[in-house]
């Protein structure tokens, strides 16, 4: 799964987005936090052993205002929704799955403004098969 995450981070970086994986310690706003499992067996694994992966990739867009989160989410979706890439000998497809509402992160206070940052979560279906 690491080569896949590295390729996804590279796509986002090329679009001017600061991507992080699981931990955003030290990140400056705005950033995108990727998260998920180390990879689930492919959708046909119950029928035959294979090297496929099928998983859900979480993508959290974080910024200073709700409007900025919507902008960042739009850019991120433009990069990830429908993306096709090759990583670690696998062909990888990403499909937009669902989204959650934009909301304030009430556990964090930004020291410069004394306000909360905002975030929105999208989830993508990730399917990978040998290239």
63-77 tens-digit pLDDT? 999 999 999 999 999
Q: Can you give the three-state secondary structure of the chain, one letter per residue? A: CHHHHHHHHHHHHHCCCCEEECCCCCCCCCEEEEECCCCCECCCCCCCCCCCEEEEEEEEEEECCHHHHHHHHHHHHHHHCCCEEEECCEEEEEEEEEECCCEECCCCCECCCCECCEEEEEEEEEEEEEC
Query: How many Cβ atoms sit within 10 Å of the Cβ of residue 103?
Result: 13
Low-confidence ranges of the chain (pLDDT < 50): 45-49
Q: Tell me, what's the pLDDT at 53? A: 82
Query: How many Cβ atoms sit within 10 Å of the Cβ of residue 73?
Result: 21
Judge whether 60 and 110 are in contact, CB under 8 Å: no
Q: Tell me, what's the pLDDT at 46? A: 47
């Amino acid at each position: 799964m690491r080569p896949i995450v590295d390729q996804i981070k590279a796509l986002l970086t090329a679009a001017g987005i600061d991507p992080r994986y699981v931990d955003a310690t030290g990140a400056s706003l705005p950033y995108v936090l990727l998260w998920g499992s180390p990879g689930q067996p492919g959708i046909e694994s119950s029928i035959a052993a294979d090297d496929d992966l099928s998983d859900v990739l979480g993508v959290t867009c974080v910024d200073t205002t709700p409007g900025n989160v919507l902008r960042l989410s739009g850019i991120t979706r433009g990069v990830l929704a429908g993306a096709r890439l090759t990583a670690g000998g696998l062909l990888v497809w990403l499909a937009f799955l669902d989204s959650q509402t934009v909301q304030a992160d009430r556990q964090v206070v930004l020291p410069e403004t004394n306000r909360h940052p905002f975030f929105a979560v999208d989830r993508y279906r990730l399917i990978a098969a040998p290239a």
